Amino acid sequence: MSVQEMEKRKDSAAAEGVKASETKSETAAAQKKENVLRLEDLTMQFGGVVAVNNLSLEVNKGEIVALIGPNGAGKTTAFNCITGVYQPTNGRITFLGQTLMEGCPTGRAAKTYAGEKAGKYTKNIHHSPDEICRAGIARTFQNIRLFPKQSVFDNVLVAKHMRAKQNPFTATFGLNHAEEKRMREETWALLKEQNLDSYASYEAGSLPYGMQRRLEIARALATDPKLLCLDEPAAGMNPQETLDLSDFIKKIRDQYHLTILLIEHHMNLVMGISDRIYCIDFGKLIAKGTAEEVANDPKVISAYLGMQEVV
C-alpha cells in the first residue's frame, strides 16, 4: 500500500471517527433534551377573564421546572388544563410527543375570545383527569385533597388501584387476591420509603400539616407517574419543613426517575431546586431562564413587588 493510500485511509477513518463522535454527542444532546411536556400558546378563558394567556413552555426529562407568578397569575389554572380539569380555550398540550389536549374557540366562545392565536388550532381534544393520570401525569393540590377520614395506608392504596386490572368479573370469581396482595405490599414499601409507615393506620386528616403534604406526594407517586406536578408543596410549612421538602423533591426526582413541574411562592425553595423557571403575570409569560436570570429580571421584580412596569 502506498503512503498516499495509507494517508487517505487514515483521513477517511478520522472523518468516520468525527462523524461517529458527532452522532454520539447529537444523540446525547437529544436524550438530554427529551421532551416530556410542552405547552403551546395555552389559553384558558373564563367568561371575560383570560386566566392563562398564550403560555408556551417546555419541560424536559429529569428536569425540575418551576412556574412562578404573583397571586392570581394563572398558575393553578395552567395545572388544571394539563391535568384535564379544564379543556383549554385555545392552544395545545403535548405529553411525551402525544397531543394530550387541544382547544380552539368555537361557536359562542369564538365571538367572545379575547386571547391570542385564534385560528391557529383547529381541534378540540380532551382527556379526563383519570385518563391523564393513567398516561403518567400525577399532581398534588394547592389545598390538600386527601381523604381525611381514611387511613394513611388507604389514601395511598386507593391510588395504587388506579392501575389495577381487576373488574366485577374477576371479583366474582375471586381472582383479585394476588393483585390486591401485590398492591398492598407496594403500598407498604412506598410508605416505608417515605418514612410514613409508622403512621399507616392514622387518619390522614390527623397528621401534622407538613406530613399531610408528604402523604399527598406519596399518593401521587403511587400512580407511577412520569411527570409530577406539585402545586405549592411548601404552602403552610415552617422553614425547617421547607428545607426538608427541597431535599425530598430532589430525592424523589432521582429515585423515581421523575420530571417535575412545580408551582411555588417560596422563592428559596424555587431558586434552590429548579433547573429552569417560567414566570407568568396576568396569565402571560413575562420571563424564563435559570433561577439567577429570572430573579434579576426587572419584569419579575416589578410583578412581585407591584412596582410600575419596568421597560
Ligand X SMILES: Nc1ncnc2c1ncn2[C@@H]1O[C@H](COP(=O)(O)OP(=O)(O)OP(=O)(O)O)[C@@H](O)[C@H]1O
Q: Which residues bind ligand X (CB under 6 A)?
A: 46, 49, 51, 69, 71-77, 142
- Per-residue contact flags (x/-) with Mg ion for residues 121 to 160, judged by CB under 5 A: ---------------------x------------------
Q: Which is closer to ligand X, CB of 43 or CB of 155?
A: 43
Q: Which three cell numbers stand for residue 213?
A: 403534604
Q: Using CA of residue 108, residue 112, residue 117, residue 118, what is the dihedral sign?
A: positive
Q: Is 83 a binder of Mg ion (CB under 5 A)? A: no
Q: In the bound complex, what is the minimum distance in angstroms from residue 60's beta carbon to Mg ion? A: 24
Q: In the bound complex, what is the minimum distance in angstroms from residue 77's beta carbon to ligand X? A: 3
Q: Which is closer to ligand X, CB of 116 or CB of 186?
A: 116
Task: Tell me the site size for Mg ion, rule CB under 5 A.
Answer: 2
**What's the burial of 53, exposed, middle or buried (CB within 10 Å: 0-12/13-18/19+)?**
buried
Strand pairing category for 90-95 and 98-103: antiparallel
| Nearest CA among 82, 120, 117, 78 for reference residue 99 | 82
Write the single-letter amino acid at 158.
Answer: V
Q: Which does 122 bind (CB under 5 to 8 A by kind): Mg ion, ligand X, none?
A: none
CA distance linking residue 235 with residue 137, whole number of Å = 21
Query: Percentage helix, strand, coil, to 5, in the chain?
Result: 45, 20, 30
Q: Is 223 a binder of Mg ion (CB under 5 A)? A: no
Q: Is 76 a binder of Mg ion (CB under 5 A)? A: yes
Q: In the bound complex, what is the minimum distance in angstroms from residue 70's beta carbon to Mg ion? A: 11
Q: In the bound complex, what is the minimum distance in angstroms from residue 96's beta carbon to ligand X? A: 25
Strand pairing category for 49-60 and 227-231: unpaired
Give the residues lining the site for Mg ion (CB under 5 A). Answer: 76, 142
